[in-house]
Amino acid sequence: MFIEHRCPPCPLCGEQTIFTVDTEALAQWQSGRLIQDCFMSWSDEDRETLKSGYCPRCWELAFPEDEEDDWQDEEDLYTAMELLDPESDLFEYERDWYVD
């Protein structure tokens, strides 16, 4: 069975999205099951809207995607590891595995 479900209002613009959802999937999610397991065929954006209320436009404004990779500063990671214990032989820095 399917019902219309009102998402929480978007924290930024106040817009409220209404989804038609499977009642069984909604009940499973509300009882603690992971949203990605209950709504596997939904996009990440739709699941986020269902969960937090953020509309896709405001999500982009609030959390812009960086074009750079999270591991861009492996030199900084190495420096931080050295500072933790510069005498340690446990951490060897080998750049040959890194691909730009």
pLDDT higher at 79 or 3? 3
Residues with Cβ within 8 Å of residue 57, at least 6 apart in sequence: 13
| Total tally of structural domains belonging to the chain | 1
Calpha distance 88→76 (Å, rounded):
17
What is the domain range of residue 56?
A: 2-62
pLDDT at 5 over 60: yes
69 located within any domain:
no
Q: Residue 100: its pLDDT value, please?
A: 47
Q: Residue 93: its pLDDT value, please?
A: 47
97 located within any domain:
no
Q: Residue 61: its pLDDT value, please?
A: 87
80 located within any domain:
no
pTM of the model: 0.61
pLDDT at 30 over 50: yes
Calpha distance 38→50 (Å, rounded):
12
Q: Quick one: tokens of 9?
A: 């209002």
| pLDDT tens, position by position, 43-95 | 988 999 999 999 888 888 888 876 555 555 555 555 555 555 555 555 554 54
41 located within any domain:
yes
56 located within any domain:
yes
